[in-house]
A and B are shown apart, each in its own frame.
Chain A
Amino acid sequence: MAEAVDYKQIGTSPVRPDGFDKVTGRAQFGADVKLPNMIYGKVLRSPYAHARIKSVDVSAALAMPGVYAAISGADFPGGRLDGEAGGEGGGTMDDVAKNVMARNKVLYHGHAVAAVAASTVRLAEQALEAIKVEYEVLAPVLDVVSAMDPAATLVNEENYTALPEKPENPSNIANVGRLERGNLDEGFLAADVVIEREFTCPMAHQGYIEPHACIASIDERGRGTVWCSTQGHFEHRAATSKMLGKNMADLKFVATEIGGGFGGKTVVYLEPLATLMSEKSGRPVKMTMSREEVFRATGPSSATVARVKVGVRKDGPITAAQSWIAFEAGAFAGAPCMPGAMSIYAPYEIENFLVETFDVLVNKPKVAAYRAPGAPQAMHAFECALDEAAQLLNMDPIDLRMVNAADEGTQSPYGPKFPAIGLKACLRAAKAHPNYTKPVPEGAGRGVAVGFWFNVGMQSSAEVNINENGSVMIIEGSPDIGGSRASMCLMAAETLGIDYDDVRAQVGDTESTGFCNVTGGSRTTFATGMAVTQACEAVIADCKRRAAMTWGLDEDQVEWEDGQAVPGPGVNADVKPLSLAELARKAGKTGGPITARASLNAQGAGAAFSVNFGDLRVDRETGKVDVLSFTAIQDAGKAIHPAYVEGQMQGGAAQGIGWALNEEYIFDENGVLENAGFLDYRIPVASDLPMIDTEIVEVPNPSHPFGVRGVGEAPIVAPLGVCANAVSRSLDMRITDLPMSPPRLLDAIEG
């Protein structure tokens, strides 16, 4: 059980160890790796959103001088692949393989059909034009609700809804989620107000600044190395080897520095293509997506249609809640319909509820995880309905949430009772925050919403090596996206009782350290941090053994205090304490190098709750929204590196505000994405946002040695509701469709 402790290292915010290399341009991102004799791979992508592939002929491309490899679906091993891909909604490995390279059908505009590798990028692009593909064009399925109609055109004729008993007919519904409790009729009868509305969220991209990139160098035996920008090089190795029918031991994957992922880089796209073409050509193959390719062919989030009904008694208790949410999966199953169902009511104690969710195939890019997958869309709908109830009841929206807030012992809607959680602490902090107690600026509306994410543990490995001078080297396998190397160093320094400056951390490749699941699910500081901590504890045990040997004492007569071995209380020994540096210097005489490792499957991840509020004003002439202030409050359990936690909260707020106000995929009637670039797909820039104010709440997770909860995902959840509620209050009309872009708001204002 973690308790309030005065830490020496944890809770400080040292400069990130990778920061210097990043600001000086030395850091090696995916596209920065160069090898002798490397050639360049490019992908031919489908011009249709839905078509049958009648034939693919790459021979003319392959015959061009300077072209060294050309591949299509026929070059991949046949047969159905078993297993699941990593990451939320990763889907089956078989589907991921068909997403990497289409086989019989193309399922979205931009779907990979063939690829070439040539001596220059220009030549590779010319070679793509020489590839002949015959298509039988089919009608695209683009609307999620009509896609659910049993008579709808099928995206995949072999898709049957995953139910215990296989349905008679295929459909576009891949999976369903359903949670229920109590009696809805009785609950709604007990309500004084009932809100019932339909909400929509658009498909939005994770918007990582670094495009997908990799380079593969495979020798004539089929063995080699792949450098890639990834959230999980072990799982990228597993997927690549599986798709190519290779022994994973023949492939080494190296995670380069990564310029953002947010869930979208848990997925393989280029790595199998580069590996296959490198093996065929005998040369290293480098592949880098353009921004347009990133938009057209890599992981957006699901668009959703959500129908929500909520009943509330006039003194505040929610008496019943009913929701129906359709999630667009894109071309393959894997929309986060179940996390959406599990999160929508998670902050509240509700006796009577039902939520039904659907994972629906449409001819759009296969969705990928995006920070707290499924929760932003689902909770946007419910948080807006609650806000409207608060308005009707003339209640403060924080008070309404406090009346219903889940707490330790509350049975969560998805099953278990919550252990200690921080929702009420966040609500109290919000109510007392100076940004909340000040008046709402004239003409603006103030929106409030709650966010939630489960967080996960999963598998991690770490090794701790003590250098000869007592400094410490950590090797672990979690790609560092949000500053985790610094957090690992802080936890190691705290555990060992040494200075942060004496610790270094490195992300090892797949041959240098044990397996780690992806950096995702807000798990790295929690789970990999736990592995680092356990390895450090093993180092301490070893040091105590060595000190006991040196002093002629029993091991249990030695303790570890402030980075040194000391005789325990009551032990009569006239000896000087032995520091880690002194023990390291003498390691050769006491058993050899001091090193320890830990591998674990971390359980007991603690749920994260957040409360956000903001003041937004709409220009009624142009429909433009100004965010005047935004405050993010979140329970971090224990903030190992508070500045990074604040950065996660601010980044999540920025992404959520962007999703709420401007970001959306715009498809034409043929399923062609019309805004595949940052000029037309508008993410917020610095001038669009105020300083995001933050307040970290710390209710320790009882299952972590330092009380850590994950912090990476919850921050994106609440901003959608905050913005919608603030704009709705500002305009005195309920806005239910996102994004609240100027044209959409002008339409609403003009009726």
Chain B
Amino acid sequence: MVKVVLSNPMLALTQGARELEFAVSNYRELTLALCARWPQMAALIERSAVAIDGQIYQDAFAEPLASGSEVFFMPRIEGG
């Protein structure tokens, strides 16, 4: 199972549930699973960065996820 930690704006959709688990093998499957349960999640995911096992991706797409992987959704940063 992949552990998923949602960002604060996502909690309103999940009734406050911050940590979830999914049986997926890559990031694309994870986002599809999230959007299947909460269709409004798509827009929030689009505006998010994500950290997979500590590595930050501004634009993840199909990165592989292993059992036990940790995925954190977080706001995108661009800097100056």
Contacts and interface: CB of A to CB of B under 8 A. Distances in A.
B34 interface: no
Interface string A512-524: 0000001011110
A521 B77 contact: yes
A342 B77 CA distance: 10
Contact residue range for chain B?
20 to 34
Interface string B41-80: 0001000000101111111100000000010111101111
Interface of B: 5, 7-9, 12-13, 40, 44, 51, 53-60, 70, 72-75, 77-80
B57 to A, nearest CB: 5
How would you classify the secondary structure of chain A's contact residues: helix, strand, loop or mixed?
loop
A165 B70 contact: no
**Which 8 interchain pairs have the tightest Cβ spacing?**
A263-B80, A521-B79, A369-B80, A416-B51, A415-B72, A164-B12, A88-B78, A338-B75
Contacts of A458: 58-59, 78
Given A370-B80, A518-B78, A523-B79, 11 more contacts: A88-B78, A163-B9, A177-B75, A264-B80, A414-B75, A417-B70, A454-B56, A456-B58, A456-B78, A521-B79, A605-B56
21 contacts: A87-B78, A88-B80, A163-B9, A164-B9, A179-B8, A263-B80, A338-B75, A342-B74, A342-B75, A370-B80, A373-B79, A416-B56, A455-B79, A456-B77, A456-B78, A458-B59, A520-B79, A521-B78, A521-B80, A603-B55, A710-B79
A239 B74 CA distance: 26
Given A163-B12, A418-B54, A603-B55, A86 B80 contact: no
Nearest to A262: B80
B71 to A, nearest CB: 9
Most buried by A among B53, B58, B72, B80: B80
A340 to B, nearest CB: 11
A710 B77 CA distance: 13
A262 B80 CA distance: 6
A164 B80 contact: no
A527 to B, nearest CB: 10
Contacts, number: 103
Interface residues of A, number: 47
Contacts of A263: 79-80
A455 B80 CA distance: 10
A164 B13 contact: yes
Nearest to A370: B80
B56 A604 contact: yes
Given A164-B40, A416-B74, A603 B57 contact: yes
Nearest to B52: A416
